Amino acid sequence: MEKVSNKKFYLGGLLVSLVLAGVVSFYASSHPDGLEKVAEEIGFIETAKDPATAGSALADYGLAGVENERASVGIAGVIGVAATGIVATSFFIYLGKRKKQ
Amino acid sequence: MHIPDGFIDLKTSAAFAAIGAAGVGASLKGATRQLSEKSAPLAGLTAVFVFAVQMLNFPVAAGTSGHLLGGVLAAVLVGPYAASLVITVVLIIQAFLFADGGLTALGLSIFNMSLVGVWVGYGIFLLVMKVLPMKKPSVAIASAIGALISVPAAATGFVLQYAVGATATYETSAVLTAMVGTHILIGIGEAVITFLTITAVLASRSDLVFGFKGNAHELEIR
């Protein structure tokens, strides 16, 4: 059943995620998403406020100060993958271990 | 479907934050039961993958895009409780680091995507699996159908919040029609991505997939 070793599986998954967030993300559609579009069409988009985190150096998936759009979104994506990986993996490994106690 | 601050009033946002917190609390209990040392790293990888794919907005209709929510994908891979936590972690990171979705609206988004999307979609997955044989293609197909439904379901969660506490005064019925219509289209993208990902994981490591064969059962033994 285990056709692929743990190491290969997890490294492969991480690599795919890095390529998607770091490279492919540049080609993502920049149109408003479903909720935003509906809000525009109906009119309640005007009630939206900038989030308190709008000043974040990574706001809107771009690294502040990096002019090159491709690099800006790519670096933001890689940072996001790293942050999610560290936070989520340590959290779930903690949960997985806690059960035994 | 990340809700910005301002759409929904603070009172309603706080109420849904409380419901969201209760749901996350229940998910912590459930996930502690269902996760093992073997499946815990997969939950981490699932969060990473969902974060990455959520960056990839795909075009759906004129001038509109959508992206993966990932609730059913996560539920079939690591179980529904851990899936709610996976999506919640992703939403928190997106709100705090990337200013994607408001902070006062975080509870609203957690309710829609981490709870409604995951559980409605996973429920549909279980229903479809009842009529299909326990084979790999069935799991991928049932996941895709669950994923398809999970997106308009999560969108309906927003409509509920709008009905209860919108700061604007436009008719709820108009919001319902537009939200469900648009999100059925986005659901098709959700179904395709979920189908392909589940198929790939089943082909390489079916032993890790919660929704396949005895894996779920095995994990629930204490």
Residue B220 has pLDDT above 50, yes or no: no
- Closest chain B C-alpha to A70 CA, distance in angstroms: 13
DSSP state of B59: E
* pLDDT for res A99: 64
Q: Which residues from chain A sit within 8 angstroms of residue B102, using beta carbons?
A: 49, 51-52
Residue B22: how many CB atoms within 10 A of its CB?
11
Report residue B110's pLDDT band, with 50, 70 and 90 as the boundaries. very high
User: In sequence order, what DSSP letters do the residues of B65-85 get, joined into one string?
Assistant: EE----HHHHHHHH-HHHHHH
List helix spans (H) across chain B: 10-34, 40-54, 71-78, 80-98, 106-109, 118-131, 136-165, 172-205, 215-220
Residue labelled with tokens 């089943």 = B202
Q: Number of C-alpha atoms within 13 angstroms, CB side, residue B142?
A: 24
Q: Which residues from chain B sit within 8 angstroms of residue A85, using beta carbons?
A: 44-45, 47-48
Burial A32-50 (b: 16+ CB within 10 A, else e): bbbbbbbbebbebbebbee
- Please answer whether residues B105 and B3 qualify as being in contact, where contact means their C-beta atoms are separated by less than 8 angstroms: yes
A31-88 tens-digit pLDDT: 999 999 999 999 999 999 998 999 999 999 999 999 999 999 999 999 999 999 999 9
- Please answer whether residues B39 and B78 qualify as being in contact, where contact means their C-beta atoms are separated by less than 8 angstroms: yes
* pLDDT for res B76: 98
Residue B198 has pLDDT above 70, yes or no: yes
φ, ψ for residue B66, nearest 5 deg: -145, 165
Residue type, B141: I
What ipTM score was computed for the predicted complex, to two decimals?
0.96
Instruction: In whole angstroms, give the CA distance from residue A81 to residue A63.
Output: 14
Whether residue A88 and residue B89 make contact (CB cut-off 8 A), yes or no, is yes
B118-175 tens-digit pLDDT: 999 999 999 999 999 999 999 999 999 999 999 999 999 999 999 999 999 999 999 9
Alpha carbon of residue A85 to chain centroid: 10
Of A25, A48, A99, the CB nearest to B7: A48
DSSP state of B166: B
- Closest chain B C-alpha to A66 CA, distance in angstroms: 15
